[in-house]
Amino acid sequence: MTQFFGGASTYTNDEGIEVNQSALNLKTYFIDLIEERKKHPQNDFLSILIKNKETFGLTEDEIISQAIMMLVAGQITTTDQMCNNLYTLLTMQGKKHELWENPLLLDYALDELNRLDPAVTFIFRVSKTQTTIDQQCIKPGDVIFISTHAVNMDPRVFESPNECLFTRGNNKQISYGYGGHYCLGAKLAKREMKLCFLELIRAFPELSIHKSHLPKRKHHSLAFSGFEEFYLQFN
Ligand code: HEM
C-alpha cells in the first residue's frame, strides 16, 4: 500500500488491484479489532478513539482511517529510517568505527543519519492563499512538494552538508516534519532507534553489510524511501 502513498513512480494495473485488496484487508482487520475493543477496551489508541468518538466528532469510518494512518505513519517510516541509518553508517568510511568506539555520540549520530537519508522524502501541503517563494507564484489550491532531502542539505543551514558529522549540534533537519504537523511519533521512533542501535553496538562489534546479498533500494514510492532487501552480517 505504501508504494502508492504520495504517488507511485511506476506501477502496473495488477499491482493496483493488489494494493486495493490490501487496503480492504486492512479495513476488515480494523472493523473486527474495533468490535473487539468495544467489548474489551484496553489502554490503547483505538480504545481511546472509540471511547471519545462523540467528543472528537468521529464517525466509525474516520476511526478506521485514523487507525490505518497511524499504522502506516508509524511502521513503514521507522523500519525504513532504521535501514537508511544503518546503510549510511556501514558504507561511509570510518563512521561505524567512530560510533562503536564512542556510543555517547549516539543521539547526535542518529540526528545526523536521519538528516542525510530521510525515510520520508516529501512533505505535501495545499496552499490556502496566494504567495510567492523566490520568483515562483503559488496560487490557492496549489499542491506543494517539500523535499526533505533538499531542506536537510541546505548549505545556508548546514555547514558542509554532504559530510556526516556526529559532532553536529543544533541539527535542524526536517526528517520528522516541521511546525503544527510535526511527527506525533518522533519521540517513540527516536527511542526505538536508540535502543536498537545500543543493542547493535553492544552485541555486534563486527556488524557489516552482507557480502553476497547486496542491499536493494526501493524505488516505487515518491514519499517513502528505504530498502526492499537489506541483509547484515554479524561476524
Ligand atoms: C523514523 C520514523 C519516523 C519518521 C521519519 C516520521 C516522519 C514524519 C514526518 C516527516 C511527518 C510530517 C508529515 C507532514 O508534515 O505532512 C510525520 C507526521 C506524523 N507521524 Fe511520523 N515519522 C516517524 C515515526 C512515526 C511513528 C512511530 C508514529 C506513530 C506511532 C508516527 C506518527 C505520525 C503522525 C500521526 C503524523 C501526523 C502528525 C500531524 O499531521 O499532526 N510517526 N512523521
pLDDT in tens, the chain (235 residues): 777 766 666 778 888 898 899 999 999 999 999 999 999 999 999 999 999 999 999 999 999 999 999 998 999 999 999 999 999 999 999 999 999 999 999 999 999 999 999 999 999 999 999 999 889 999 999 999 999 999 999 999 999 999 999 999 889 999 999 999 999 999 999 999 999 999 999 999 999 999 999 999 987 778 889 999 999 999 8
What's the CA gap between 113 and 233, in Å, rounded?
20
CA–centroid distance, residue 164 to ligand 1 (Å): 24
126 lines ligand 1 (CB under 6 A): no
151 lines ligand 1 (CB under 6 A): no
Nearest CA to ligand 1 atom 39: 181
pTM reported for the whole predicted model: 0.91
Which residues are CB-contacts of 112 (< 8 A; sequence separation ≥ 6)? Answer: 164, 165, 166, 168, 171
What's the CA gap between 29 and 37, in Å, rounded?
12
176 lines ligand 1 (CB under 6 A): yes
195 lines ligand 1 (CB under 6 A): no
121 lines ligand 1 (CB under 6 A): no
Transcribe 98-158 into DSSP letters. Answer: HHHH-GGGHHHHHHHHHHHS-SB-EEEEE-SS-EEETTEEE-TT-EEEEEHHHHHT-TTTS
* pLDDT given at position 105: 97
* pLDDT given at position 114: 97
* pLDDT given at position 6: 63
Cell of 129: 492563499
113 lines ligand 1 (CB under 6 A): no
* pLDDT given at position 7: 66
* Ligand 1 nearest atom to the CA of residue 178, by list position: 15
CB 126 within 8 Å of CB 142 = yes
Show the DSSP H helices in the chain as ranges: 13-39, 45-51, 53-56, 60-91, 95-101, 106-116, 148-152, 186-203
* pLDDT given at position 144: 92
CA–centroid distance, residue 161 to ligand 1 (Å): 24
